[in-house]
Chain A
Amino acid sequence: MKKFVGLFLVLAVLMVIPAVDLAFAAGDEPGEYLDRRVVIWNLFYRLMTVGFTVGAVVSGTMIWQCWRFRESHPQAKPTPYEGTDW
């Protein structure tokens, strides 16, 4: 049963992606005058801001976890896996 679910999921994705692609593809309607430099560089700066912010949060969380849950942290507690024989 699981195999069929997986198969249908793969097939669904294969069907959905081209459909979405078609739906969102650029049509034939005429565009407006714009400065592509502004559009493209704005997109670049916004995505860079998002990228660096997410990167800082994720790496900051990992650094904090390493610092907080190290063995030598004053508040560190042994887990059942490590035993209590300290």
Chain B
Amino acid sequence: MGGHSNWPEWIYIGVIVAIMVWVGAEAWDAERLVEHVPEDAETIIVTGQQWFWTFEYEDGTKTIGDLYVEVGKAYKLEIVSKDVNHSFNIHDYVVLMDAIPGRVNTVWFAPTEVGTYDIQCREFCGLIHYNMRGTLIVEEAST
């Protein structure tokens, strides 16, 4: 093996390790940003069950199928399930969190535009999973 040099391999390994570290750091930073809930976020309990969503607000009121929020405010969703695994998804706001029986999973978001958006279960949960939908209704701020 006279004259053989393996420095290209070491450069290759170094570059790969550097890229992996960078990718991990970027992903960790994004995760840290989106997981920390703002202090003034309003908590809404989101309950999934075959085959609809129930939303319970801080004042005790409940709605079924329709989630009412105000633009510019932060909302912490505590997602639970009453029967099987579901997954709560608001596609337009990149909200996606599993609803698991016996667990409380949280996710937060702050709607930026008034309008209506689709809510859909993203975990196959039985016969009518395809129609386990809801509507996010973002209203003007009340104050």
Residue of B nearest to A61 (CB): B12
Residue of A nearest to B28 (CB): A24
B26, B37, B95: the one contacting A47 at CB < 8 Å is B26
List which B13-39 residues lie within 8 A (CB) of chain A: 19, 22-23, 26-28, 30-39
Residue of A nearest to B107 (CB): A36
For the side of the interface on A, what is the size category? 20 to 34
Count residues on chain B whose CB falls below 8 Å from chain A CBs.
25
In angstroms, Cα B92 to Cα A41, docked, is 12
- Known contacts: A36-B95, A50-B19. The answer to whether A31 contacts B33 by CB under 8 A is yes
Q: A35 touching B112 by the CB < 8 A rule? A: yes
Residue of B nearest to A47 (CB): B23
Q: B94 touching A37 by the CB < 8 A rule? A: yes
Residues of B within 8 A of A54 (CB): 19
Q: B37 touching A36 by the CB < 8 A rule? A: no
In angstroms, Cα B34 to Cα A50, docked, is 22
Using an 8 Å CB-CB cutoff, how does the interface string of B107-120 with A read, 1 for contact, 0 for none?
Answer: 01110100000000
Q: B37 touching A39 by the CB < 8 A rule? A: no
Q: Majority SS of interface residues in chain B?
A: helix
Q: Is A33 an interface residue (CB 8 A)?
A: yes
Besides A35-B112, A40-B34, 20 more A-B contacts (Cβ < 8 Å) are A27-B36, A29-B36, A31-B33, A31-B35, A31-B36, A31-B38, A31-B108, A33-B38, A34-B34, A36-B93, A36-B95, A39-B30, A40-B94, A42-B30, A43-B26, A46-B26, A47-B23, A50-B19, A50-B22, A54-B19
Q: List 13 A-B contacts (CB under 8 A).
A: A26-B35, A30-B37, A31-B35, A32-B33, A33-B74, A34-B33, A34-B110, A36-B93, A36-B94, A37-B93, A37-B94, A40-B30, A50-B22
